[in-house]
Structure 1
């Protein structure tokens, strides 16, 4: 039987994923940073290798935020989180989720004549830690389930 504290923690880890992806979509460095521990590692390597790029893990938080806001922040992007599953061991959570992410060149996402895009369905595997009242990502691995479009969109080309 699930108790109320587990349900509250589950909602909080989902909020952490939403802060992470909303920070990307809105180009909001502070919101993105709020989802990460200071020593966070974000490993996009498995997703990027699947579409032909070698990408090293990003760490710590300042590097993650700078790199991702610089790369994704300017794009017209939208990330949708689903299928969130979490297990808790005290103040540590292991979280699995899907993130569907659509990317367009800046200012073109709402133009119906624009067909060049990068659409990804990624699997997120995260270790999160409780930080006071919030949960934060300490390690996030992103693996690609499928891809549609132009991978060069993700490199700003």
Structure 2
């Protein structure tokens, strides 16, 4: 009986970790695909996304975004139209009941709309960011309640991120 309980708990933990990682991937895909519904699906209604630490590192002041509707409208409006590719890696997860703390790297490449596949285009913004997220269980899903984005390094033209 103990083996069955242990196996069941292990499977539940692995499932949570897979769903939490998928939440980060869906966040990134929402941005890359300019998909407001997909982006909204990973956020709690009272979500906070704080890009301030990343943006200050490259010379811009950017307030935390909240609630979900503001997060989605702002990020889809700014990043959605760009040719972007966000890659999530090095995901580390600590689960405590229905709460989780998630640390990950996100490398994000940005090009002007329609120019990302043109090899002659060199103007870009490439960022390596560190994500620190708090997530909460919502039924079978996990959603981001708070996401802090800090920049590890940057290459390219920061003005690209402001639509210039």
TM-score (norm 2): 0.94
1:154 has 2:161 as partner: yes
Shift of 1:15: 0.6
Q: 2:19 aligns to what SS in structure 1?
A: helix
Q: Which residue of structure 2 lines up, in the alignment, with residue 67 of structure 1?
A: 74
CA distance in 2, matches of 1:122, 1:7: 25
Deviations 1:94-115 (A, max 9, x none): 0000000000000000000000
Aligned residues: 157
In structure 2, which of residues 111, 115, 119 is the aligned counterpart of residue 104 of structure 1? 111
**RMSD across aligned positions (CA):** 1.0
Distance (whole Å) between structure 2 residues aligned to residue 123 and residue 6 of structure 1 = 24
Structure 2, unmatched stretches of 5+, are 1-5
* Deviation at residue 140 of structure 1 after TM alignment: 0.1
Name stretches of at least 5 consecutive residues in structure 1 with no aligned partner: none
Q: Could you tell me how far apart the structure 2 residues matched to 1:12 and 1:122 are? A: 21
In the other structure, the counterpart of 1:120 is 127
Mapped partners of 1:71, 1:126: distance in 2 = 21
1:93 aligns with 2:100: yes
Runs of 4 or more, structure 1, over 6 Å off, are none
For 1:85 and 1:34, the matched residues in 2 are separated by 21
For 2:20 and 2:158, the matched residues in 1 are separated by: 29
Which residue among 13, 36, 40 is the counterpart of 1:29?
A: 36
Q: Does 1:136 align with 2:143?
A: yes
Q: TM-score, normalised by structure 1?
A: 0.98
Larger Rg: 2
Q: Of residues 11, 15, 31 in structure 2, which corresponds to 1:4?
A: 11
Query: Helix, strand or coil: the match of 2:120?
Result: coil
CA offsets, 1:62-112, max 9 Å, x none?
A: 000000000000000000000000000000000000000000000000000
